[in-house]
Amino acid sequence: MRRSGDMFGVMSRNLSTSFPLRPARVHEAYGSAAPVLAAVACGQVEGSLFWITENWLPERLNPLGLSTFLDPARLLTARTGSQIDSLAIAEETLRDGSLGLVVLETTRPLNLREGRRLQLAAKAGGTPGLCIIPEGMGSNAAETRWKAEPLPSLESRDSTLMRWNLKKNKSGTLGAWDVRWDAETRRLHVVSPAGE
Amino acid sequence: MQRRVACMWFPRLASDRALRLRPLDGPFALTIRESNTNRIHCLNHAAEREGLHAGMPLADARSFCPEVLSAEADPEGDTRFLHALRRWATRYCPWVGLEGKDGLVLDVTGSTHLWGGEAGMLTDMRQRLLRTGLSVRLGIGDTRGAAWALARHSEGRAAPGAPLAALTFLPASSLRIPAETAMALQQLGLHTIGDLAKAPRAPLTRRFGPELLLRLDQALGQQPEQITPLEEPPHYGVRISLPDPIGLTADVMALTERLLRRLCETLKTHETGARSLCLTLRRVDGGSQQVELRLAAAMRDPSRILPLFERGVGEVDAGFGIDQMRIEATQVEPLPVQQLSHSAAVQTGQIEDLITRVGTRIGLENIQRFVPADSHIPERAFHSVPAAWSSPESGWSAPRPRPLRLFPPEPIAGSGTEPPRSFRWRRIAMETDRAIGPERIAPEWWLEDEAWRSGLRDYWHVQTRQGRRLWLFHTPQNPGWFVHGEFA
């Protein structure tokens, strides 16, 4: 189907070397399952979470849907007027150090200066950050960049089969994994890719 | 020292206040709605001269005097005004209480000489009140009762030491007794206080109860009576004036810290915390700049509040320098002291500080948290409320799988009650692989909601061949297909 054969070798690599997102760094995710990746990442950290979006975006997080990943009471959302505000708040919250994860949804590309400032803030506060970016608008300063796409699954109704493709990794190798979220145990399962 | 009590009575408090705000000539009356009739509550002198009186229905008053102007009475505003007057009256003595709804009582013992004696003080009061447009009747006597009687019935001064002398010829109704008692006394031939004082006490008590003689004794000083001054509300404002103007941010912050420390002392003694603060910087050229700070939680810790001012102070234009600073807690909330324990989380409050800091940039209302709500309508099953005015709530439960993201319904082409086999959504062609449903959700008819005008909705969880899992709904009463959300 869509998978190229050479990826199977990479896929055997352990997801755990790169997935609970490396702390004190800013990561990026894109693709239509990127919000799911962000939700999974939120569920894997302790403490309060901050989710920054711009107020003109029509999409809204649904806490009931989110509750399979984490307790929505831990989440704070910020709605900003522009990306400048979003970036300023992301910097402030990353630097503060009292949060578990800061998720930032961007709508235009970050330049190197902006990306670098976020990295410095994350380093100062020791907080991981995750930018949900439109495809192809990543910043060179990002620690890792993930492409997350849903996969059709043949089994049960609430399946959350996704393909996570690590497209960029500053300190490690790339890879791709088919993953599924288990809502019962709140765990991420890596599943072996379906054969053709 | 002989106790001296002054009484101020404002016979037209409400209408005087209304006319102070909007002066006009001619008859004027304030009305109040009582048992379905607009009755006159208070009226000015010109209206009284036309033969109107308080308690008269407005319709009658109009027929007597067609040119009367009227407005709605505002009893709460009048009460606030009386409290303001009470505060003003503390210029004469520190011991000022309220007397009914339209009077003040002042214990002026030992403070009259400051105005050159009692007569001088009464003149001063009268002049100042007249200048503000308030009509006032003043009385001064040895007791509260005597002062009240004089203010109401014959303005003037009772000589110290002889209360009965000034009251002898005042009517019995000036004893603060109910109107029926006064009427009954008149029928008995006891017209004045002098008559009453001479009458035998036992039959009076038997007939009218102890209250009448208590009032008489209070007026004559044989029974004590208290004046209750109101407590001053705590004032949460501190200021500092500088001999030389300053302009450096560091200097302003250092002084802000000094002011905050004083303010927080006050907050601590009253067990309150500031919710919003206003720092006013007065410049040498007379201009002033304000830095407002709204806090995400009530707090009174200067070391926590100070860094939150940094952003605001940094934006201030000091001009030729700042020579006066004032900080005021414009909104305070009760904040009782709490038992600290080593097991409690040490970092509590850090999130609130963060919210405040972020809130100074995008507005405190834009930082929200989700709280569950009791509704089966997907977009009303939760509320987004400002985090600064709410606390985290648990109790999240989704009866059925719900999408991670919701958006305003986006129409797609489709017909029939089953999800379309293939459709285009956001310019992407999709094919339905599997559809689970329907889940019927009925609108909440008791709430007006534009989005749910189309009636019932049958929701389907659609797995597309392209991978995306969408939440589609069909409106059977108003056929159409829409995409409402996307699953994880």
Torsion of CA B314, B317, B323, B324, to 10 degrees: -70
Residue B196 tokens read as 């009453």
pLDDT value for A195 = 55
Write out the DSSP string of B17-53.
HHHHHS---S-EEEEEEETTEEEEEEE-HHHHHTT--
Cβ of residue A134 closer than 8 Å to a chain B Cβ = no
Least confident of A19-28, A148-157, A183-192, B352-361: A148-157
> Are B488 and A68 within 8 A, CB to CB?
yes
Contacts of B104 (CB under 8 A, 6+ apart): B7, B8, B82, B85, B86, B89, B96, B97, B98
Q: What percent of chain B has pLDDT over 70?
A: 98
Cβ of residue B400 closer than 8 Å to a chain A Cβ = no
Write out residues 23-52 of A within 8 Å (CB-CB) of B. 32-33, 35-36, 39, 48
Whole-Å CA distances, B62 to B31, B57, B58: 12, 9, 6
Residue range B202-259, pLDDT digits in tens: 998 998 889 888 999 988 888 888 888 888 788 899 999 999 999 899 999 999 999 9
Helix (H, G, I), strand (E, B) or coil at A180: strand
Q: Predicted confidence band at A10 (pLDDT cuts at 50, 70, 90)?
A: very low
In Å, how far is B360's CA from the nearest CA of chain A? 10
> Are B366 and A68 within 8 A, CB to CB?
no
Write out residues 337-396 of B within 8 Å (CB-CB) of A. 347, 350-351, 354-355, 357-358, 361-362, 366-370, 372, 378-379, 381-382, 384, 387, 392-394, 396
In a domain, A1, yes or no: no
In a domain, A196, yes or no: no
d(CA A138, CA B44): 76
pLDDT value for A157 = 56
Residue B277 tokens read as 């603060």
d(CA B254, CA B260): 10
Q: For residues B230 and B86, is the Cβ–Cβ distance under 8 A?
A: yes
Write out residues 435-454 of B within 8 Å (CB-CB) of A. 436
* Domain count within chain A: 1
List the single best residue of B370, B389, B400, B436 to mutate versus A (max A Cβ within 10 A).
B370
pLDDT value for B162 = 80
Torsion of CA A88, A89, A90, A93, to 10 degrees: 130
In Å, how far is B365's CA from the nearest CA of chain A? 9
Helix (H, G, I), strand (E, B) or coil at B366: helix
Q: Which class does domain B237-334 fall in?
A: alpha beta
d(CA B375, CA B378): 8
Name the one residue in this structure whose structure tokens are 């699953």. Answer: B487
Query: Which H or E run contains A121?
Result: helix A112-125
A13-37: average pLDDT: 88
Three-state SS for A31-70 is: CCCHHHHHHHHHHCCCCEEEEEEECCCCCEECHHHHCCCC
B230, B343, B330, B217: which is closest to B280 by C-alpha?
B330
Q: What percent of chain A has pLDDT over 90?
A: 47
Whole-Å CA distances, B195 to B171, B174, B186, B191, B199: 9, 13, 10, 6, 6
Report the residue of chain B nearest A72, measured CA to CA: B370
Q: Is A46 exposed, middle or buried (0-12, 13-18, 19+ CB in 10 A)?
A: exposed
pLDDT value for B348 = 63
Counting Cα atoms < 13 Å in the Cβ hemisphere of B215 gives 20
Query: Which H or E run contains B104?
Result: strand B103-107
Candidate from A58, A62, A73 with C-beta closest to B404: A62
pLDDT value for A1 = 40
DSSP 8-state code for residue B231: P
Q: Strands B5-9, A187-191: parallel, antiparallel or unpaired by DSSP?
A: unpaired
pLDDT value for B23 = 87
Cβ of residue A3 closer than 8 Å to a chain B Cβ = no
Query: Which residues in chain A touch residue B408, judged by CB atoms under 8 angstroms apart?
Result: 58
Residue B438 tokens read as 């329907």
Name the one residue in this structure whose structure tokens are 């405190």. Answer: B364
Q: Report, in this order, helix, strand and coil percent for chain A, each rounded to 5.
A: 25, 30, 45
Residue range A59-111, pLDDT digits in tens: 889 999 888 888 999 999 999 999 999 999 999 999 988 899 999 999 999 88
Torsion of CA B371, B372, B378, B383, to 10 degrees: -30
Q: Show pLDDT as tens, one digit a residue, over chain B (488 residues).
A: 788 999 999 999 999 999 988 888 889 999 998 888 899 999 888 888 888 888 889 999 999 889 999 999 999 999 999 999 999 999 999 889 998 888 999 999 989 899 898 899 999 999 999 999 899 999 999 999 999 999 988 888 888 888 788 888 888 888 888 889 989 998 988 888 888 888 888 998 998 889 888 999 988 888 888 888 888 788 899 999 999 999 899 999 999 999 999 999 999 999 999 989 999 999 999 889 999 988 888 888 898 889 888 888 988 888 899 999 999 999 898 988 877 766 655 556 788 888 888 888 888 889 999 999 888 888 888 999 998 888 888 888 877 888 999 999 999 998 888 889 999 988 989 888 888 878 999 988 888 888 888 889 999 988 888 888 899 999 988 889 999 999 87
d(CA B47, CA B61): 9
> Are B354 and A96 within 8 A, CB to CB?
yes
Q: Is the pLDDT of residue A155 over 80?
A: no
d(CA B14, CA B74): 8
Q: Predicted confidence band at A185 (pLDDT cuts at 50, 70, 90)?
A: confident
d(CA B67, CA B71): 13
Cβ of residue A55 closer than 8 Å to a chain B Cβ = yes
> Cis peptide leading into B408, omega within 30 of 0?
no
> Are B404 and A35 within 8 A, CB to CB?
yes
List the single best residue of A49, A54, A59, A64 to mutate versus B (max B Cβ within 10 A).
A64
Report how many Cβ contacts below 8 Å link chain A to chain B.
136
Residue A15 tokens read as 């997801």
Query: Which residues in chain A touch residue B362, judged by CB atoms under 8 angstroms apart?
Result: 78-81, 85, 89
Query: Which residues in chain A touch residue B402, judged by CB atoms under 8 angstroms apart?
Result: 62, 64-65
Q: For residues B431 and B421, is the Cβ–Cβ distance under 8 A?
A: yes
Q: Strands B422-425, B322-334: parallel, antiparallel or unpaired by DSSP?
A: unpaired
d(CA A42, CA A104): 12
ipTM entry: 0.86
**CATH number for A175:** 3.40.50.300
Domain hosting A75: range is 7-191
pLDDT value for B338 = 78
Write out the DSSP string of B43-93.
E-HHHHHTT--TT-BHHHHHHH-TT-EEEE--HHHHHHHHHHHHHHHTTT-
pLDDT value for A5 = 40
Write out residues 407-426 of B within 8 Å (CB-CB) of A. 407-408
> Are B488 and A153 within 8 A, CB to CB?
no
Query: Which residues in chain B touch residue A66, judged by CB atoms under 8 angstroms apart?
Result: 404
Q: For residues B182 and B149, is the Cβ–Cβ distance under 8 A?
A: no
**What does the mean pLDDT of chain A come to?**
85
In a domain, A77, yes or no: yes
Q: For residues B142 and B158, is the Cβ–Cβ distance under 8 A?
A: yes
Query: Which residues in chain A touch residue B369, judged by CB atoms under 8 angstroms apart?
Result: 73, 75-77
pLDDT value for B350 = 81
Q: Residues, chain B, total? A: 488
A37-60: average pLDDT: 91
